[in-house]
A and B are shown apart, each in its own frame.
Chain A
Amino acid sequence: MSIFKKIVNLVRKSEKLTVTLQLSPAMLWILLVLVIPLCIIVIYSFGKTIGIQLLPERGLHNFIYLFTGEGGLYRSLLLKSLGMALLITVCSIAIAYPVAYFISLRVERYKYTWLILLMGPYLVSWVIIIVGWRLILGYGGLLNYVLVQMGLLASPMGGTWGSWGTVVFILMMGWAPWLVFPIFVSLEKIDRSVLEAAADLGANPVKRFLRITLPLSSPGLLVATFFVLLPTFGEFVTPILAGGSGGAMYGMIIESAFMGWPRWPFGSAASVVLMIISLVVATALLRVIRLERLMEVL
């Protein structure tokens, strides 16, 4: 009997060995590329460096600087980014909801065809969506042109580009097409006879929506929140390209600490704070959502 066959027989007999073999690539990947690196940035966040060389000193100085330094600039940026992320989440869900509602409860044929069509714009990169919106909102863009033609503006102005509102708007429009899907999935699961029963008992459409449809679709809303809120916390691409001076976000601190003048310990401390907030939020959300719901969406 060859060695190969011996190994095969061994694996066949032991369930434990099968599980280990099947799981180890994924677990090793996550351990080596995610868990260990996160431990290392925790170590860095307490440290000091020359270049990228870590010195033996340890302390809380990076965190203290993050929360009090530059006249509280970083702290207020953190709070502002949290607020923006929440606002973006709520707005993108709000504009996606009627679309999901329409497909689930009003469209009768080709529901999935419409869904695929709606998801299209989500498939291109953020930077490309930003280039596109710049042609509409930027200086001399479509919006300006239309306003000038209508006589509402004397000359083109760039005021709609380069503010925190631009960042919120672009991220909201970018996420919405994808959010239609989780909301649609939860709406599809609502038993239509419940809605009919409510109508028979005299509930008007508004009441039916508020008392039945909306609460029953809340799992989809939570899944949507999970998908938008966490990446938006750390967003730096959109604020850099579309934020101007007023649209800065927390992720830009981390970006400049690593890609600009290297201040790794400070950048690590900023990342650790972001990581802790994200993990707390994600754990809370996942406890309510449960994995099965996440699976249904994908």
Chain B
Amino acid sequence: MFRNIGERSLKIYFYAFLVIIYLPLILLIIFSFNDSRRMGFPPQGFTLEWWQRFLSRPEAVTAIENSFLVASVTALIATTVGLMAALALVRHFFRGKRLATSAVVLPLSLPPIVIAVGAVVLLLAVLDVELSRLTIILGHVLLALPYTTLILMARLIGFDRSLEEAACDLGANEFTTFRKITMPIIMPGVFVALIMAFIISLEDVPVAYFLGGYDTTIPVYIFGLLRWGIGLPVATAMSAFMTGIMLVAVIISVVWTRRAEKT
């Protein structure tokens, strides 16, 4: 009987956890349509005013553009660079391999604020570069690189190299082999690495905040609104916008995974 109570409370805990982690995000979406300046309970009725205000602010729209541009470029660079490093680290033995591996994990071992501060000092004091979206990308690739490299290394370790050898024996050169054999097999890993890097860039505040200069991304813009207590309803609408995108992405991946697990 005690066993049953334990089992049941475990189950209840699981569903309660699920509800609690989604509750703030659901409330956010509800309150972005709330017809009151005061973001308090109970909700006061329906309005589209906050969404209209958010979409009619040029700097908010620019922040959206910046976010998605930076995240896309970061994903492409971090995955390409990470794939090259992963190929070297998995397939070859060379001197300094341990050092190279530690270097790849180094950005994971430091709080993002330390990474950001270092880059700011280098860029402003030593190189005298204007901070912009480009410098955010510089930092974001660094943040994403350990993830993309490790994801692709894991994929390459489980790779049956005799397939490549067979292709070479049949007369394919390295490039054809890579394109026709290697790429299709590691494609799922590449896909995961791209998504991971995109998300890391999209949700980051510390690095984009320090390295952006006058260019802001969505989270940094929301951070500014909240910090100075101006335009809380607009911040809520922007957060709801980002949450909505996340929810769509989650629903799609849930449906996909479910289909894959069914078989």
A-B complex is real:
yes
Is there contact, CB below 8 Å, between B41 and A30? no
Check B126 against A25 for contact (C-beta < 8 Å). no
Contact code string B79-90 (vs A, CB < 8 Å = 1, else 0): 011101101110
Contact indicator A29/B124 (Cβ below 8 Å): no
| B155 CB to nearest chain A CB (Å) | 9
Q: Which 8 A-B pairs have the closest CB atoms?
A: A234-B111, A140-B40, A132-B24, A37-B118, A282-B109, A145-B41, A26-B85, A22-B88
Given A132-B24, A140-B38, A144-B41, do A33 and B138 touch, yes or no (CB 8 Å)? Answer: yes
Give the shortest distance, in Å, between B96 (CB) and chain A (any CB): 9
Contacts of B153 in A (CB 8 A): 295
User: Is B121 among interface residues, defined by CB-CB distance under 8 A?
Assistant: yes
| One of B47-55, B159-167, B240-248 contacting the partner | B240-248
- Chain A positions within 8 Å of B, measured between CB atoms, are 12, 15-16, 18-19, 21-23, 25-27, 29-31, 33-38, 40-41, 44, 52, 54, 95, 98-99, 101-103, 106, 109-113, 116-121, 123-136, 138-142, 144-145, 156, 173, 176-177, 205, 226, 230-237, 240-241, 251, 254-255, 258-259, 264, 267-268, 271, 274-275, 278-279, 282-283, 286, 291, 294-296, 298
A240's nearest neighbour on chain B, judged by CB, is B227
Docked-complex contact B109 and A127, CB < 8 angstroms:
no
Judge if B179 is at the interface, Cβ distance under 8 Å.
no
CB closest residue in chain B, given A31: B103
Residue of B with least CB distance to A85: B111
What are 15 residue pairs bridging A and B, where the CB atoms are less than 8 Å apart in the complex?
A26-B85, A52-B125, A98-B17, A112-B257, A117-B250, A119-B250, A120-B22, A124-B246, A125-B205, A132-B25, A173-B21, A226-B108, A259-B210, A282-B109, A295-B153
Q: Known interface pairs A116-B253, A267-B117. Does A131 touch B21 (Cβ–Cβ under 8 Å)?
A: no
Q: Report which B residues bind A (CB closer than 8 A).
A: 3, 6-7, 10-11, 13-14, 17-18, 20-25, 27-28, 31, 38-42, 80-82, 84-85, 87-89, 92, 94, 100-101, 103-115, 117-122, 124-126, 138-139, 141-142, 145, 147, 149-151, 153-154, 157, 174, 192, 196, 199, 202-206, 209-210, 218-219, 222-223, 226-227, 235-236, 239, 242-243, 246-247, 249-250, 253-254, 257-258, 260-261
